Structure 1
Amino acid sequence: MEKIFDPITVPIILIDEDTKVRMINKVFANFLGYEKEEILGKKVQEVDRNSRFPYVFQTKKAEIAWKHKFENGHTAIVHRIPVLDEKDKVSYGFGMILFEDMKEFMHIIEKNKLLETELDHYKKRLKELSGAKYSWENIIGNNGKMSKIKNIGKKVAMTNSNVLILGESGTGKELYAHSIHNDSSRHLAPFVKVNCAAIPADLLESELFGYEEGAFTGAKKGGKIGKFELANGGSIFLDEIGDMPLNMQSKLLRVLQEREIEKVGSNKTKKIDVRVIAATNHDLKELVEEGKFREDLYYRLNVMTIEIPPLRERCDDIDDLSSLLLKKISKQLGKYVNNISPKTMEYLKMHSWPGNVRELENVLERAVNLTDCDTIQPSYLPEYLMENKKSKSSGPIKSMKDIIEEAEKNAITSVLKYTNGNKLKTAKLLNISRSSLYDKIERYSIKV
């Protein structure tokens, strides 16, 4: 084997089922900065801590032409191939370096006139950056509410009407926006995302509608195309719409009514065909009543509404969600963890998840980073999750959240009884918006 391996100028390595190095040629050993004798018999992660072979052995899937950064700082394009026996078990792992640095890789592409392949790659990359990545399959939920909402979403996708997605932070509003676009007749056209809360108020107009050359100090030569024009023929996703300044709300309303835009510094209008998908974690009805959101814009946006329930209202989805998130996190970290112990799952289901799915993903990523095996145990969970469990199992002592919720439920029940079930009067007496009252009636399962 040494006579076969050593003369080959391509770096090659062979490891056994325990990830111990059984064969490596001189070229590879030199590349790693070791003598062959120092490497043979060692586990591959002792030689290169960044090795993904343990992950490849778990998935039993080859990684072809992967970009890999070795512990010594070298970056190369590599193959990692698991060799399976007749029982579909991993016997060996075969690895090789195709290109020892990225410059060499680019040189080969140019030398062999493969620029079309490169162009296709960048087209796909551009599609990923400016297009919708998710579909209905990415939305996990067998809960009755979630199934109903997904069905509504699929019907909404078939129309060209504006869509308003409501839900707490971290519930997955963007997933729904992507899915609606991907399932619509506009799926081949652009999908442009704008976070209205992340752009300073004085820049939002030029960001949405673009500007002409010389429109203001610092304006780019030749001007700039706005997000609405970029989305022409497709969809624009206006996230955090509830944080949009009032002066911009009136300009957005005109765009929705007239289906035309006017760049900053221009006196000409341009017709556009864009479907607006807006999302917010605010109660827009409440903002309208407070004078912080235009009522006419609210009704323009609120043609088709999708309200996503928080994770605490669909705890039966935590099993499936955790399983999906573990696969995603394991792939990202190159660390194969695929189980959650029953005790750990008990803690996860007891938590109220104020940060929703995003918080669950963060908790699982922390646990995957800390665990030394393929199963997440309670000791790898944050301390606040354990404290929640203790407080809920401590008999008559209730958490502040439980006490407040119980008081809310009793107050609403009492006033509804007083008003003979009149929800408008009940909302006024309790000094809350009607939408908040409806939400609480549903959340606490109050019979009217």
Structure 2
Amino acid sequence: MKNFINSKEFIAFCHSAFDNIPIAIDFLDKDGRMIYINKAFSDFLQIPIKNMIGKLVTEINPTSKFLLALNEKKADIAVRHVFPNDREAICHRIPIFDNNGELMGGLGMILFEKVNEMKEILKKCEILDKNLTLYKNEIARLNSAKYTLSDIIGNAKPMTLCKKKVRKIANLNLNVLISGESGVGKELFAQAIHNESNRAHMPFVSINTSAIPENLLESELFGYEEGAFTGAKSGGNIGKFELANGGTIFLDEIADMPYYMQAKILRVIQEKEIVRIGDNKPIPIDIKIISATHKNLEKMVANNKFREDLYYRLNVLNLEVPPLRERTEDIPELSENFLMEFNKEYGFYRKLSKNAMDILKSYSWPGNVRELRNVLGKACVNADNTIITANDLPANLFIDSIVKDNKNDSGFYNIIKKVEKQLIKNALTQSNNNKAEAARILQIPRMTLYRKIEDLKIDI
């Protein structure tokens, strides 16, 4: 069978394909004779084309290693070579075989006409690689889990059990649903799970599904291509799931996710891939999903407000964070920690009085740890002295504690009297029984204070 490389059809193809391109290319037959060379290569060698066709490559270039590549049937890729005119270049020497594996000839190509060109390209690639690494590190830093288990305050039994479970489930590559009332610190536990896992060095991406407008949620989660919709950024945008690839995504307030989006999240979990808006190319992802809610998802499933199939996909492992009222022994340590934070940030030096601490410990805390932090922040501002007293705390804390202590005598006027009595006693204690000072603290006339002390039978 005739060697195709020696055919007129192949030579004609070479002329039509390679004559006018700026890349230096030549073809040799299986014996190493020049059968085609384009103008770019001829100009580089400074030898007319007609003086090279039909000659052995070593007659044209005595130092050529092309014959060796053909004999060994092995390609030389990106090798440095010095030509007879002392020009230096980076070349390819590639043997060509037919379908039966028989040698037909070879392709020669100059990749870079100067070694410095290759060095410059490699240098730019190195810089780009370094920049890419920096950007990846910056993305990982911006999307990192700050809190670990050691940052979560609490040694009460419910918290100890909760932390123990975190250690148990963290390294399991299974989705986790964190349940608990608002303000208990569900995101802190999500970050702790991530930091305890073997994904700790990868991104942790948090998104509150209830805080993003419904029409933007899909693009935030899955990203989009340029021109996907009106207002889309030039170059498109990466989504949260893609950003979290290799690490963990935290879907807070998952119960508020629109029903149509629940189906899309289910598909991501099942297929382990996402598709950007405006594209049809799936992107594989490897992520751990931690979701959280303060709502009863089982009840929502029963009322067809949350997909049952998604619920079971998310609730593979469950972590229930206890409310603050079930671990009141942690309140002193939490309070001290928050006061240290406020003192450092605002230049205060506040401490809690025993009476104030007793009130904090007796309150039911419907807003949990978040409410405790807010109460102490306001108390720091309200306090006129170093010591935060009961009078610096919100009135609802007194009412709550008094109602709890007087369950059998909780009429409106009785509660009001008990609150008044407690406030006056606190003011007198703070003023060392100085009535004028106590009246000033309570912001009432001195005679009104005298009358109330008598009416309420307050011992001084």
Query: 1:336: Cα distance to partner?
Result: 2.1
The aligned counterpart of 2:235 is 222
Whether 1:340 and 2:369 are equivalent positions in the alignment is no
Paired-residue identity, %? 53
What letter is aligned with 2:364? S
Q: 1:260 aligns with which of 273, 286, 289?
A: 273
Which of 335, 352, 363 pairs up with 1:351? 363
1:175, CA displacement in angstroms? Answer: 0.4
Give the deviation of 1:192 after TM superposition. Answer: 0.6
1:169 and 1:130 map into 2 onto residues whose CA distance is: 23
User: Counterpart in 2 of 1:131?
Assistant: 144
- Residues 214 and 269 (structure 1), Cα distance of their counterparts in 2 relative to 1, 3 Å cut: same
Q: Find the partner of 1:201 among 214, 226, 229.
A: 214
State how far apart, in whole Å, the 2-side matches of 1:187 and 1:380 are: 42
Question: 1:324 maps to what in 2?
Answer: 337
> Per the alignment, do residues 196 and 314 of structure 1 end up closer, same or farther by CA in structure 2, a change over 3 Å counting?
same
**CA distance in structure 2 between the aligned counterparts of 1:199 and 1:335, rounded to whole angstroms:** 36
Question: Given residue 384 of structure 1, which amino acid in structure 2 is its aligned partner?
Answer: N
Supply the AA of the counterpart residue of 2:270: Q
Letter in structure 1 aligned against 2:343: S
Alignment deviations for residues 16-75 of structure 1 (CA, whole Å, 9 cap, x no partner): xxxxxxxxxxxxxxxxxxxxxxxxxxxxxxxxxxxxxxxxxxxxxxxxxxxxxxxxxxxx
1:392–1:399 contact (8 Å) kept in structure 2? no
Deviation at 1:172, TM superposition (A): 0.3
Partner of 1:251: 264
Whether 1:369 and 2:381 are equivalent positions in the alignment is: yes
What's the secondary structure of 1:277's corresponding residue?
strand
Equivalent position SS for 1:345: helix
Change (3 A) 1:234 1:374: same
Q: Secondary structure at the match of 1:225?
A: coil
Count of aligned pairs: 280
Offset, 1:312: 1.1
Q: TM-score, normalised by structure 2?
A: 0.58
- Which of 183, 196, 217 is matched with 1:183 structurally? 196
1:224 counterpart SS class: coil
**Alpha-carbon distance between aligned partners in 1 of 2:261 and 2:135, rounded to the nearest angstrom:** 35
Deviation at 1:372, TM superposition (A): 3.3
Residues 156, 327 of structure 2: 8 Å contact kept? yes
1:234 corresponding residue in structure 2: 247
Q: What's the offset of the Cα at 1:395?
A: 5.3
- Corresponding letter in the other structure for 1:346: D
Q: Partner letter of residue 231 of structure 1?
A: A
Please give the per-residue CA displacement for 1:264-306, whole angstroms capped at 9, x wherever unaligned: 1111101001111100111110110010100110010111100
- Give the CA deviation at 1:161: 0.9
TM-score, normalised by the number of residues in structure 1: 0.60
Root mean square deviation, CA, Å: 2.1
SS of the aligned residue for 1:211 comes to: coil
Q: Return the offset for 1:323.
A: 1.3
**Which amino acid in structure 2 is aligned with residue 340 of structure 1?**
L
User: Quick one: structure 1 residues 121 and 371, their matched pair in 2 at CA, closer, same or farther if it must change by over 3 Å?
Assistant: farther
Determine the C-alpha separation between the residues in 2 that align with 1:231 and 1:240.
18
State the SS of the aligned residue for 2:255.
helix
SS in 1 for 2:369: helix
Structure 1 gap ranges (5+) = 1-119, 401-448
- Following superposition, the deviation at residue 128 of structure 1 comes to 5.3
User: Unaligned 5+ residue runs, structure 2?
Assistant: 1-132, 413-460
For residue 307 of structure 1, what is the aligned residue in structure 2?
A: 320
- Structure 1 CA distance, aligned partners of 2:143 and 2:275? 23
- The equivalent of 2:290 in structure 1 is 277
Residues 347 and 385 of structure 1 are in contact (CA less than 8 Å); yes or no, is this contact kept in structure 2? yes
Q: Which amino acid aligns with 1:164?
A: L
What does 1:79-94 align with in structure 2 at a 5 Å threshold? none
- Find the structure with the greater CA-based Rg: 2
- Classify the secondary structure of the residue corresponding to 1:237: strand
Report the secondary structure of 1:276's partner residue: strand
Q: Is the 8 A contact 1:197 1:244 kept in 2?
A: yes
Retained in 2: the 8 A contact 1:165–1:278? Answer: yes
Find the aligned partners of 1:141 and 1:399 in 2 and give their Cα distance. 36
Is the 2:180–2:186 contact (alpha carbons within 8 Å) kept by the matching residues of 1?
yes
